[in-house]
Structure 1
Amino acid sequence: VVNTPILNVRSDPNTSANIVREANQGDQFEVLDRSADGGWIQLGENGQALGWASADYLQVSAGDAGVSTGAPAGDQAVAEQPATVQPSGPPAGGYLPSTMLSPDYGAQAFLWWKPEVAHRDLELMKNGGFNWVKQAFAWETIEGAGKGQYDWSVADRVVRDVNASGLKLLARVSSDPEKTNFWPGPPPGNAGNFAEFVGALAARYNCTAQAVGCIQAFQIWNEPNLAREWGNNQPSPAQYADFLRQAYSAIKAVNPNAIVISAGMAPTGTNDNTAMPDDVFYEQMYQAMGSSNGYFDMLGVHGAGFAAPPELDPAEAAANKDKYGGYRFFAFRHVEDIRAIMERYGDSGKKIVLLEFGWTFDSVNASYKWHGADAGIDQFVQADYLKRAYQYAAANWPWVGLMSLLTMPNVDWLDDGNPQDEEQYWWAIMDPSPTDVRMRAAFIVLCDYFNEVQFNLYCPYDPDPSRRGQR
C-alpha cells in the first residue's frame, strides 16, 4: 500500500531510471521482488511487473513475497517528487488575487527541501495572521542542468503547498552567487537566459485553471548593488534596469496580473567596484529607466533596523555614530529616503515592498552583535520593534505594500551543530527545529497583532488560554 501522497514508479531500482507511472496514497499493488540492498520493491498487478518504487514509502504486508515490512503508515516520510505535475485546478475558492494590503504581512520562509517542515510552517504562518510567504526559487536548482532542462519537481510541490495553505506567494527569483559553474554564467550577460527562465516559471504558475499553481508576485534578483551578487562585476544600475526590463516583459506576457517587484538593495556605505549605496543605486536606476513603466510594478527595498528603534529619524542615526552607526541607512525609516527618490522621478503612484526587514539580537557574530545584543536588543526587544515597525508603517506609509520580515527559521541551520553561528538564526522569529514548534517572543507578539488588526482575534498560540479566540 502506498503511504505517501505521490509515489514515482520507475523502470529500474534507482532514482536515475525512467518514471513509468505515478501512484497515489492508498493504491495497492502486488510485491514481486526486492532489490539486493532492500531499498526498492518491484510492484505488479495480476502477476505483471509494473516497475520499482522506494520501500520507504510503501506499507508492505509481512506475507507478501517474503518481503519485510517497510515504513509504517502515518510516518512523516517524504516522497521523491515527480518530475512533472499535471494541472489539478485551483484550490477550493480559487487562487488568491495578486493584491496587497497597506501594509501587508509576510515573512521569508524555507519550504524547499523538507516538506513536513514546510507544511508545519505554512500552517503556523496562516494561523498567525500572515498573508504572504516569500520563498527563494533558485535558478540553478530548476534549470541548472542546461538550457530548457527544467526540473519542476520541488517547485511544483512548494507552489501547491503554499496555494493550499491560503497564503499568497512571493517568489524571489535569483541564483546563488557561489554557484560559479552554473551554465549561463553571471549577470549581466545572462539577462536573456534569465528572462526566458523566469518567463517559463511564470507561465507554469500563472494562476489560471490550466496552471500547475499560482505565484502572485515575483522579486527579480537580489541585492545587485553588491558585486558578489552581480557576477563579481562592478554594480551597474543601468545593466540591472535592462535585466529587470527583460524579466518584466517575460512575466507579463504569460501572467499580466502578476506583481513584478524590483530587487531590494543591501544597506552599505561603500561606493566602489565592490558595492554601491542603495540610494545611489536607485537614483541611477531611475535615470537609466526614464520611467519605471515596463520595468516593475512595485519597488523592492530592504529595511533593516540595526540598533535603532523603528521610529528613529535617519538623521539621528547619521549624527550619532557611536550609538546608531553613523549612516542614514542604519535606521528603519531610511525607507523614506528611497520613497523620496521615487517621488522625485514621478513614481508616487507605485508602492514600495519591504522584501527584507527586521532586527537581530545576535550575541555571537562580531559583524552583527554591535547592533544586536551589544545594543541592548534581545528577543523581547526584537518582538516589540517588529510590531512597532508595522504600526509605524500603518500610520505613516500609505505607499507601502507587503512588509516581509526576516525570517521564519531554516532547520538546515542545525546541520553543523552550531546554528548560532548562522547570522540569520538571530533574526528569526522561531527557533529552528524539525520536530518541535519553538516560538520566540516575536512570533507570539506579531501573531497577536496581525490577528487583532485583521480579525479582532487573539493569537491562537498565546501561552495564556484565556487570550485565544474572539477579543
Structure 2
Amino acid sequence: MVFGFLLAGALIGYLIFSGLSGVIGISASPSPTPTATSTPVETSSTSTPIITPSPETPAASPSATPTPYPRPARMASPEYGMQAFLWWRPEVGWRDLDLIRDAGFGWVKQIFAWRDIEGAGKGAYDWSRTDRIVHDARERGLNLLVTVFNAPDWVGVGYPGGGPGRHNGYRDFADFLSSLSTRYRGQVRAYAIWNEPNLSREWGNNPPNPAEYVALLHVAYQAIKAADPGALVISAGLSPTGTFDATAMPDDAFLRRMYEAGAKPYFNVLGLHAPGYKAPPEMSPDEVADRPEYGGQRFFAFRHVEDMRRIMEEFGDGAKQVAILEFGWTSDPRPDSPYYWHAVSEETKADYLVRAYQFAQANWAPWIGLMSLIYITDADWTPDDEQYWWAITDPGYPQTQVRPAYERLKAMPK
C-alpha cells in the first residue's frame, strides 16, 4: 500500500496472537528486519476493456488556462480527504470522484508517478491523464492533493525501485516539478514530495537518508514555489515503524534528522501517515505502548501523530500544520496475513474512522489540517490484495458497492 508502513510491528503482533509471545516479545528496541508492504499500483483488468485517452503531443502548458480557484494558505482544522485511483479508466474516476464529493469530503489525493508522465525521456511529457484528473477534480469542486514520486528509469543507473537518484537526479526532479506546477498553476491545491522516504524500498533500495531527502525537498520546494507560489508543499508522509537499520528508520528519528539537516524552510505542511492498527483512535501512545495486545509500541497508536507534533514544536516549527496523508484501519481476515493480528470488523472500521475525525477536531485544532483516509478502491483489486481490506468501498465497475465506513463518513457532521 502507499503507506507501506513496515511490518516489523505487525509481524510481532501476529506472533503474539499466534501464541509465540513468550518467544518474541515487543519492546522499544529496534525490530528485526521487516518485510515491506507494496505500494498500490493502479491496475488494469484483463477482463474489462480499458478506456484511456490518446496521448497528447507534449506541450509546455494547456491550450486554455483555467481560472485559478481560491487556495487559502491555511487549512481548516480538520479538512476531509480520500485517496482514489483515477489514472487509467476515466469512467471509474468520474464515479469515484462523485463518491468523494457526495460524502461531503473536499479533497482527493492522487498519485502522479513521475515515471508515468516523463518516462520516455527527459522533457518528453505525457499530460493526457493528468489533464483529465485535474479537470475532473476541479469540475466537482474538489481540492487536489498530488503525491509525486517514482522516478523514471532514465534518471540514472544505480537507483532502482523508483528512487530519486542523486546529484543531477535531483535537478531532473526539480525540472519535472517546474513543468508540472507551471502547467497546473492555480489548479492543484497541494503537492506532497515523495512517499515514505524513511523506508529503503521507497528510496531506491538505498538506506534511508534524511539529509538526502531534505536536499530533494529543497529543490522541489523552490521549483514549485517559483511556478505556483499559492500551492502548498507538503513533506512526504513518513511510515510509522520501530525498525532502525538499512531497511528503515523510525519516523520520529527521521523527522528529527530532517530538521537537523535544515528542512524547516522547505515545506508548508508536515506530512505524516497514521495507520490505526488495532487500538481505537482515542488511545494514547503511552497506553498502547503498555498493552501488548495493541502492539506494545508508541507508533502503533493513531495518536503517535502527537509525538511527531512535539518534534515540530521542539524545532520551533509549531506554527505549521500537519497533514495526515494516509490513515485507516484494516479488516483483513486472512489468517496468513501479517495484518490479521490488528484487523477489525467493517463496522469497527467505520466507527474508528468517524471517531478519528471527531477526536482530531476536538483535540488537534488548529494545527491539524488535511486528514486523507485510505481508500476508494482501485476497481480491479481483489481480496488477495492487502489494500482491499483497508478500503471503504468495494472494487468493481459499473456496479458501485460501498462499505459501512463510507455510509458513516457520509453522515458524519463536518
TM-score w.r.t. length of structure 1: 0.73
The 5 Å alignment of 1:258-277 reads 258-277=231-250
- Look up the match of 1:319: 290
**Could you tell me whether the CA contact under 8 Å between 2:199 and 2:208 is conserved in 1?**
yes
Deviation at 1:89, TM superposition (A): 4.1
The aligned counterpart of 1:83 is: 57
After TM superposition, list the pairs within 5 Å mapping 1:210-229 onto structure 2: 214-229=187-202
> What residue number does 2:362 align with?
395
The 3-state SS of whatever aligns with 2:104 is coil
2-structure distance, mates of 1:168, 1:83:
27
1:129 to 104, 111, 135: 104
1:197 to 163, 169, 176: 176
- C-alpha contact (below 8 Å) 2:56/2:126 kept by paired residues: no
Structure 1 segments of 4+ aligned residues over 4 angstroms from their partners: 75-79
Q: Within 5 Å, give how 1:142-161 maps onto structure 2.
A: 142-161=117-136
The verdict on how the C-alpha distance between 1:317 and 1:76 changes in structure 2, with shifts beyond 3 A counting, is closer
* Structure 2 CA distance for aligned equivalents of residues 133 and 119 of structure 1: 12
Cross-structure match for 1:69:
none
Name stretches of at least 5 consecutive residues in structure 1 with no aligned partner.
Answer: 1-74, 208-213, 414-418, 454-471
Are residues 445 and 182 of structure 1, via their aligned partners in 2, closer, same or farther at CA, if it must alter by over 3 Å?
farther
The aligned amino acid for 1:306 is Y
Cα offsets for 1:49-94 (capped at 9, x unmatched) = xxxxxxxxxxxxxxxxxxxxxxxxxx99654353358433437xx5
Q: 2:396 aligns with which of 406, 429, 433?
A: 433
Superposed, 1:303-342 pairs within 5 Å as: 303-321=274-292, 323-342=293-312
1:105-120 residue pairs with structure 2 within 5 A? 105-120=80-95
Partners of 1:340 and 1:422 in 2: CA distance: 35
Aligned pair in 2 of structure 1 residues 271, 143: CA closer, same or farther (>3 Å)?
Answer: same
Residues 79 and 301 of structure 1, relative CA distance in 2, 3 Å threshold: closer
Contact 1:96/1:166, CA 8 A, preserved across alignment: no
Query: Does the C-alpha gap of structure 1 residues 193 and 324 become closer, same or farther in structure 2, counting only changes over 3 Å?
Result: same
Cα 1:233/1:77, change in 2 over 3 Å: closer
Identify the residue that residue 385 of structure 2 maps to in structure 1: 422
Aligned: 1:97 with 2:71: yes
The 5 Å alignment of 1:154-193 reads 154-175=129-150, 181-184=153-156, 185=159, 186-189=163-166, 190-193=169-172
Q: Residue 272 of structure 2 aligns to a residue in which SS? A: strand
Question: What does the per-residue CA deviation read over 1:268-308, in whole Å, with 9 as the maximum and x for residues that have no partner?
Answer: 1110111000000001111111x612x10000000010000
Structure with greater proportional strand content: 1
Determine if contact 1:76/1:116 at 8 Å carries over to the other structure.
no
Deviations 1:347-392 (A, max 9, x none): 01000000000101111252111110xxxx1111000000000000
Q: 1:78 to 1:147 in 2, by over 3 A?
A: closer
In the alignment, what sits opposite 1:10?
Answer: none
Asked if residue 141 in structure 1 is aligned to residue 111 in structure 2, the reply is: no
Matches of 1:384 and 1:392, distance apart in 2: 12
Q: 1:4 maps to which residue?
A: none
Q: Which of 283, 290, 293 lines up with 2:256 in the alignment?
A: 283
1:299 counterpart residue number: 270
Structure 2, unaligned runs of 5 or more:
1-48
Structure 2 Cα separation of the partners of residues 142 and 257 of structure 1 = 23
- The answer to whether the 8 Å contact 2:155/2:165 transfers is no
Look up the match of 2:379.
411
- Could you say what secondary structure the match of 1:332 adopts? coil
Cα distance in structure 2, aligned partners of 1:150 and 1:81: 9
* 2:327 aligns with one of 354, 357, 378: 357
| Alpha-carbon RMSD | 1.8
Contact in 2 for aligned 1:136/1:171 (Cα 8 Å): yes
Secondary structure in structure 2 of the residue aligned to 1:367: coil
How many pairs align? Answer: 354
Contact 2:259 2:315 in 1 (8 A): yes
Tell me how far apart the structure 2 counterparts of residues 337 and 76 of structure 1 sit (CA, whole Å): 44
**CA 1:385 to 1:249, structure 2 compared with 1: closer, same or farther past 3 Å?**
same
**TM-score in terms of structure 2 length:** 0.82
Which one of 315, 318, 322 corresponds to residue 345 of structure 1? 315
Does structure 1 conserve the Cα–Cα contact (< 8 Å) formed by 2:83 and 2:372?
A: yes
Amino acid of the structure 2 residue aligned with 1:267: P
Give the direction of change, closer, same or farther, for the CA distance of 1:77–1:287 in structure 2 (3 Å limit): closer
2:177 counterpart letter in structure 1: V
Aligned-partner residue type, residue 342 of structure 1 = M
1:421 counterpart SS class = coil
Structure number with the bigger relative contact order (C-alpha 8 A, sep ≥ 6) is: 2
